[in-house]
Structures are given as structure tokens and as C-alpha cells.
Structure 1
């Protein structure tokens, strides 16, 4: 009998900056993750263009497997483990009122906390203590090209770089607070890291390493250099804090092709389902 082969996942949850992250033309950060994690983790893109943390509150529970006493937090074949989860909202939340996308700052902060708690609070029906969360702060914005984009779309200018900066700082503060709880605290296991997208990108601009147009293709969405930054920061977290998941040393699923029995591959290929992954030879 052939057992089910479970590929655990790296779930990417966010707005258009996540949805567009598979775009190979801009070296999308999710496309880069999919490349390095091939046959190791499934990279699942759950980015929703235009969405804010308000809609995220209703979406995330639909993306996480329910936890019950009967399953004791054990994933089923239909729900393999989500080993990593990125939460990347704020670029739309920081839109200026009366934009429909505007989320008041205090509400945005509360939403971020609620999203993290859905995963790491034992009281949550979607509690998943082994899932490692990477909170990603909104990037800087470049007002001039975004004003042109707004004009082309026939809408008023709806972003302000200084306002977006405040939302990024709020996201960073929340992330640092949860990151400080690493380990067990009051029965709550927190594995949260945060990427200071705004700070890292602006430091590169101020150092003369690149310009905002290299980071952002239209003033808001990421260009190639911006995608490289997100990918590199995610991998830095994985390599330094979760080295067992470093794709450079992590084993692939399934036997290497040279190890297959040419005459009886049906036996060897059961390794995919019944045995640990094998090293590359």
C-alpha cells in the first residue's frame, strides 16, 4: 500500500507585494524561495492584491488547518505542516483616508497581533506552535512615480511616505515584541522574527548602494533589487535561527536518481512516503 507523501510548506501571506512575488521578470522573492527550496518545502503564495490587514483577519483562518484535541496538533495528509509563515501587510493599510484601503494605525497594530495570535496562542482554533512566523514590514514608498501611477489610474494621490514609515515602525515594534518571547512564556510558544524592510532599504539608498527606483518599480511594488532584499533577509533568518531548514544542507524529498533500483523503482520510490529524505550525491 502506498502511503501519502507529505511535503511541508512555506506559506506566504500578504497583499500584492506577495501576490506578485512569483514574477521572475522582477526576480520575485517567492520565485527565489521556490528555487532554493525545491523538493524540500512547497512555497505557497497566498498574496491578495489590494487587501489590508482587515481582510487578512478573515482570510488567515481559512488557510490554516484547524486544531482539535483529537488531533493533538498533528497535521493530516490533507494538511501537512506549515513550517514557515510570512505575514506581509501594511502598504495598503497606510493609504490615506478617505481611501477604502486605509486602516487606522491602532487598528493595524491590533490586526497584526491578532494574526500572530491565530498561530501562536494556545487558545486559537488554528494554534500551530511549530510554525515559524516571519513578519515583514512594509517597504518605503517613492512618491513621484506613485503619483504618476495614480494619475494613470484616474485616482487621487493616496500615499504619503512619512505615513507609510509610521506603519512600518509599528510593524517592526510588534515583531520585536513577539520575537522577544522566543521560547515558552506562560504556556505560549513564540517563534516570530521580523524584517525591517523600510530600515534596510533606506539604509541601502542612503549608503548609495541603490536608488528607490531600483527597489520599487512604480513607487510601491518591488523591483528586482527590492525582491532581492526580501529574499536575502528571509534566508538570513532561516540560516541563522533555523539552520536545520537551510536548503543548502537540508535533505531533498525522495531518493537521488543514482540510488534508484532501475529494475524495481516501485520499491525504492516508496522512500518518498515511508522514509526520510535522502542526501544529494
Structure 2
């Protein structure tokens, strides 16, 4: 190698600086052959030592890059942890859950409400679509069903579950006969669109005796109609009166079984809307129904992801 490639002579003992043009020559320069291996190494010209150092640096960099790629990207691409993913977990659409109703559904979205608990239970399982509108009754829902379904349900898919909770506001403004007619229209419309989707009717829950919205006896009348509609339309019914009065072992009879003191803690001071305890009863009633009737729809399969 020509000494002109260096700024200092090989024998000066000074720090050596390389010109860029000399780097390629370093790796092909031949060492001098004399003495032991150590003496040979020490006696090599500085170009040979520099070549060794460059090789070590490059090798270290390549190894480090390989380790980094394995750690950062390996678990996302080639890791055995995700090599065989649960097909249910990654299914893009397992069906939406559509909840129709009034403020008892709308306010179920509060923390620990029955709707929010259902949404948490269905994490990575189903999208819960809360469509409860405060103050709405069955008459308004007759005209609301089509636009709500059109704007909510993904086109070309079937909802996994649909629930309806109406009757509380009807007890204040709608006759029993109209309530029956409206509910039959709503249910017929939904079943014509989604004949294979489970449709669950909640009976309106019992109110307190002292409230400004609806008298308990009128709500009880609509409760009985909801039970009848479930039979005549082959729909599933969750009986919230029995859930709110758990000691009733047979068919609920208003004059015999209604006791407002039993349900005071289940309702807010207005006597109609659900407290957290009341929300818990609605959620538990739905959960138990699904567990007994549609076990594939039981919420909680991936709830551990929220911990």
C-alpha cells in the first residue's frame, strides 16, 4: 500500500487518519509475515488494524440490527403468541347488537348501566348500538324503526341481537289498544327485515306508586300486553316485573304482588328511571336469558382484555 494514502508515516506512532479513497484498500492489504501471531498483529501496518476494527464494527451493527428486528417486529409477525390467532377474536363482523327503546335504554349508557355493561361484555365480540330516545313511545317508534335500522345496521349484515324496551311513556299518553297495535307493527317490520335475528322484548319495569309519569296499574296493563305480544309474534320476552319482585314465584298479579317499597332502591327518586341497582337487575336478567337460550351470545368472552 502506498504510504501517500496516509497523512502520517506508519512508523511515527501518531494517530493515523485515512482518506476516503484509502478505505477500500485497507481490507485487501496483506500483512507482513514475521514473528508470533501477537507480534504479527502488532507489527501489521495501521491499515490492517483499521480493517479489523471496521469489520468488528460492521459485524456488531448487523447483529444488533437482527436482535432489534426480532424483538420489535418478531412478536407482531412471526411470534408464536399470534401464530395461530383465535378465529372468533379476529372475525371482522360478528353481528351488531341493536337496542331500541326510550330513556330506560338511553340512560343505560351511564357507568355501570345495563347498556354500558353489555357493551363492555361484548368487547371484541359485537358492536352495541344504543338507540334509546328519552320520552319516545311506541307511536313514535312506528315511524322511527326504518330510519334507525337504515342508519345503524351495516348494509348486507344481520344483527346478532335486537332488544325492545318500550311501554313506560306509553302508560302516560297511549291507550292500551294502540300500544298493542304499535308494538305489533314494530315487531312485524323488524322480523320482515331480519327473520333469523333473535328479537327480545323487555316488559316495562314496575314504577313507584308516587310518580308524575305513569300509574303502576297502567304500566302493569302494558306489561301484560307485552307478554301476550311475545307469544303471538314468537318473540322472546324478559319479564322485568318478576325480576323486580323476585319473591313472586307464579304469574304476577298486580293486586296481590305489587309493593312499591320492594322496588324503592331499584328506581331513581322520579319513580320511573333505573338506579344502578335497577340497571344491574336488567343486565342480569338479559345475561341469564342469553345464557339459557342463546349461549353463543353470552357477553364476557373477551372481558379479560379490559383488566
Q: Could you tell me how far 1:6 is from its partner in structure 2? A: 3.2
- Structure 1: stretches of 5+ with no match in the other structure: 67-75, 96-101, 122-126, 147-156, 180-191, 258-281
- 1:88-103 equivalences in 2 (<5 Å): 88-95=165-172, 102-103=173-174
2:168 maps to 1:81: no
- Tell me which of 208, 217, 232 is aligned to 1:142: 208
Q: Could you tell me how far 1:175 is from its partner in structure 2? A: 1.2
Q: Could you tell me how far 1:245 is from its partner in structure 2? A: 2.0
Select the structure that is richer in helix.
2
2:125 is matched with which residue? 40
2:240 is matched with which residue? 197
Q: Could you tell me how far 1:80 is from its partner in structure 2? A: 3.6
- Quote the Cα distance in structure 2 between the aligned partners of 1:164 and 1:131: 28
- Quote the Cα distance in structure 1 between the aligned partners of 2:295 and 2:122: 13
- 1:106-255 equivalences in 2 (<5 Å): 106-121=177-192, 127-144=193-210, 146=211, 157-179=212-234, 192-204=235-247, 211-217=262-268, 218-249=270-301
Structure 1 residues 223 and 115: alpha-carbon distance in aligned structure 2, compared to 1, 3 A threshold: same
Q: Could you tell me how far 1:247 is from its partner in structure 2? A: 3.2
SS of equivalent to 2:200: strand
Q: Could you tell me how far 1:90 is from its partner in structure 2? A: 0.3
SS of equivalent to 1:31: helix
2:146 is matched with which residue? 61
Alignment length, in residue pairs? 205
Task: State TM-score, norm by structure 1.
Answer: 0.66
- Quote the Cα distance in structure 2 between the aligned partners of 1:48 and 1:129: 25
Task: State TM-score, norm by structure 2.
Answer: 0.60
- Quote the Cα distance in structure 2 between the aligned partners of 1:115 and 1:142: 28
Q: Is this contact kept in 2: 1:193–1:237, CA < 8 A?
A: no
- Quote the Cα distance in structure 2 between the aligned partners of 1:158 and 1:42: 32
Q: Is this contact kept in 2: 1:119–1:131, CA < 8 A?
A: no
SS of equivalent to 1:35: helix
Q: Is this contact kept in 2: 1:7–1:80, CA < 8 A?
A: no
Select the structure that is richer in strand.
1
Query: Root-mean-square deviation (CA), in Å?
Result: 2.9
Q: Is this contact kept in 1: 2:94–2:160, CA < 8 A?
A: no
Q: Could you tell me how far 1:225 is from its partner in structure 2? A: 1.7
- Quote the Cα distance in structure 2 between the aligned partners of 1:234 and 1:132: 13
- Tell me which of 104, 109, 113 is aligned to 1:22: 109
- Quote the Cα distance in structure 2 between the aligned partners of 1:207 and 1:120: 33
Q: Could you tell me how far 1:239 is from its partner in structure 2? A: 1.2
1:263 is matched with which residue? none
Structure 1 residues 170 and 77: alpha-carbon distance in aligned structure 2, compared to 1, 3 A threshold: closer
- Quote the Cα distance in structure 1 between the aligned partners of 2:214 and 2:96: 34
- Structure 2: stretches of 5+ with no match in the other structure: 1-90, 249-256
